Amino acid sequence: MSVTPVIHRGVGKTRPEWYEERFAANGWSGSWRNGIFDWHHYHETTHEVLGCYRGSARVQLGGPDGDVHDIAAGDVVVIPAGCAHRRLDASGDFAVVGAYPGGATPDMQDGAGIPCPLPIWERDPVKG
């Protein structure tokens, strides 16, 4: 199944609580705060959302041949299950809130990714 990552530009705030609350209101929970790993990894068992509340980063979505995107505070990236992603570079203050539909517990897979093994998410974590 082909599901493309979604990037919502400038929709969030600089408070991490805004992302936690918005994501939870739309059914994405199990939130955490941190950064993005600098190696290609993916989750086979769940989709993931990342809301940047501070700083900026250059991320690669879709494995070693995937597209490179610059994200900054206020941006939200919705990553389909199976889509490898990594941080290429980031400002020293870069931070995100992450969450999963239904509060799923993600698995951690190394590598270039696989075709999305799950149906598309029922509710967008930002727009509902």
Measured between alpha carbons, how far is 114 from 93 in angstroms, rounded to an integer? 31
Domain that holds residue 11: 6-110
Domain containing residue 74: CATH number: 2.60.120.10
Average pLDDT for the chain: 96
Domain assignment of residue 122, yes or no: no
How do residues 59-117 score in pLDDT, each as one tens digit?
999 999 999 999 999 999 999 999 999 999 999 999 999 999 999 999 999 999 999 99
Which DSSP string do the residues of 2-52 spell out, in sequence order? ----EEE-S-S-S-HHHHHHHHHHTTEEEEEEE---SS-EE-SS--EEEEE
Structure tokens at 58: 């250059």
Measured between alpha carbons, how far is 27 from 128 in angstroms, rounded to an integer? 8
Q: What is the pLDDT of residue 3?
A: 84
Domain assignment of residue 104, yes or no: yes
Domain assignment of residue 124, yes or no: no
Number of domains in the chain: 1
Domain assignment of residue 121, yes or no: no
For the chain, how far is it from start to end, CA to CA, in angstroms?
A: 22
